[in-house]
Structure 1
Amino acid sequence: MFLNTRQLSLLSHIMQALAEPHEEMALREQIGSWVLDLLQAQFYASFVWQPGSQAFERPVVINMDPGNLDRYLAHYQYHDPITPVMQRYRVAIRSTDVMAQPALMRTEFFNDFLARDGLHWGVNLYAWQGGHNIGDMRIWRDKRRENFSADDLQLLDLIGPAYVAALARARQGQGAVAVPVASSVLAAPLSPREWQAARMVAQGLADKEIARALGVSITTVRTHLERSFRKLGVHNRAGLAHALSQCPEPRG
């Protein structure tokens, strides 16, 4: 498998992020954004399997219609011919590995759910910790692009163990209270761009709104926020907003 400079850089960002503490939902969203770039895909969803209800819940999605997501949660996940089979795998698996594309395209699941958002070629990675499925990544391309390659599967498999470990740590840390860090003891001050992005988080803006306001990509916004989390010693957006109130606006 050959990786170009862009892929090596993205893979490095992903592995670094997976080694750091994160809130679970933020982790799945951040990694999803980078994985889309890494695999040159357009659509992403991540769910957590709930054994009690026998359903996928707690969704994180990128570039998918919220109404269509609601239909999936309420109906289509129970009429899904591929995901229950793909979920059994401990490695990255393509939708075409469990059902031929022409057969999938004849199903209700494809025509009334996948096709509504333009999802055509899919690959899933499930995070298994022992016998428990603690999260997943579902990446899709539209029909104008090619199916995922063997190299794409290997890339996801490289990420897999670190993704499982990061989700497990995030679960253990849920509910932990971040200790406020005074600006006088910060290991490193925020850069002007990091401070701007963090201030917009404190104002309640979403990542897409921040990207539009700053004229940068969503990936850049999330990089700014990740660095701000580390510098301020917090692990989520609420902690960031609180810690920012103690930080003076940087000059320059």
Structure 2
Amino acid sequence: MYLSNDQVAALSECYRVLASADDLHELRHLLAPALARALRAQSLVSRDFDADSRRYAISFAHNLDEAHAQRYEAHFQFCDPITPVLQPLRCGGFAHALPRAQLVRTEFYNDFLRPYEMHRGLNLYACDGDTFVGDMLAFRSERQPEFEDGELAILRMLEPSFTAALLRLRKVRTAPLAAVVDDAALLGVLARQSLTPREAEVALLVFRGCADKEIARSLQLQPTTVRYYLNNAADKLGARGRARLAHRVSQLAAAPVAAGVRTH
């Protein structure tokens, strides 16, 4: 595999970012331009996946209109013919999912990919066992050549480090803040957001990283009841899905901490 000097430098930067990033936003923000250079891609998108709602969320878009990227969340993820085929492969291009003659006849291509010059794609998926934890999708315009084996090899080299970085940063995302936030104080903050006591308790446990089964056991609720309170809390906080609910609660928790309210 031949790499130009610029690609070698970009790949080196990718590894540096993967090893040194302190949070998920920094990881994606710094990795995207370096990876775009290494792959000679025009744009990139990164997604999260909420296992409970079975929905994807766009977490970062590089050189792509963010409003258009958000349309994937609202509609196009439900007619995406590429992700279900490529995700088990961990790395792959559009051509590995379905023939181009078939792709260009789909709603996904004509209404989502083509309007923003995302004619050619190469996807990297991070999985912890069978659990999807994030991805990075690279795109080229019709004027650019197809992605080839060299670019696919770059993604395959990066996949272990990319997966490890996502898992590392997910584990530490709320740990420092959670260690200094008092439960009673945060429940009060959530109550002021119009959450009921039970909704606030569920949101608090989501923030602390508890799974539905753990929440059900802790609060002595049925799993379906947990989902009911979780969805209510998410709606009231304007957060769709577990990941965004946890992030929104962390934002609310950070304000009192920043003001010096800590009881531990």
TM-score range, shorter-chain basis? 0.5 to 0.7
**Superposed, which structure 2 residues align to 1:208-223 within 5 Å?**
none
What is the TM-score when the length of structure 2 is the normalising length? 0.64
Check whether the contact 2:58–2:73 (CA below 8 A) recurs between aligned residues: no
**d(CA) in 1 for partners of 2:8, 2:82:** 31
Identify which of structures 1 and 2 has the higher relative contact order when contacts are C-alpha pairs closer than 8 Å and 6+ apart: 1
Number of the residue aligned with 2:132: 133
1:40 and 2:45 correspond: no
**d(CA) in 2 for partners of 1:79, 1:87:** 15
Per residue, is there more helix in 1 or in 2? 2
**d(CA) in 1 for partners of 2:166, 2:66:** 24
Query: Higher mean Cα deviation, 22-31 or 126-135?
Result: 22-31
SS in 2 for 1:60: strand
* TM-aligned CA deviation for residue 81 of structure 1: 1.2
Q: Gaps spanning 5+ residues in structure 1: where?
A: 179-237, 243-252
* TM-aligned CA deviation for residue 176 of structure 1: 4.1
SS in 1 for 2:52: coil
**d(CA) in 1 for partners of 2:42, 2:118:** 9
Number of the residue aligned with 1:93: 92
**Superposed, which structure 2 residues align to 1:29-108 within 5 Å?**
29-90=29-90, 92-108=91-107
SS in 1 for 2:88: coil
Check whether the contact 1:21–1:169 (CA below 8 A) recurs between aligned residues: no
**d(CA) in 1 for partners of 2:37, 2:72:** 25
Q: Deviations for 1:107-131, whole angstroms, at most 9, x for unmatched residues?
A: 1111111112110000001001112
* TM-aligned CA deviation for residue 22 of structure 1: 2.0
**d(CA) in 1 for partners of 2:52, 2:38:** 34
**Superposed, which structure 2 residues align to 1:1-252 within 5 Å?**
1-90=1-90, 92-177=91-176
**d(CA) in 2 for partners of 1:21, 1:81:** 32
* TM-aligned CA deviation for residue 67 of structure 1: 2.5
Q: Deviations for 1:11-63, whole angstroms, at most 9, x for unmatched residues?
A: 11111111114211221222111111111111100001211111111421012
Q: Highest CA radius of gyration, 1 or 2? A: 2
What is the TM-score when the length of structure 1 is the normalising length? 0.67
Aligned-residue RMSD, C-alpha: 1.7
Equivalenced residues, count: 179
- Aligned identity (percent) is 34
Q: Gaps spanning 5+ residues in structure 2: where?
A: 178-253, 259-264
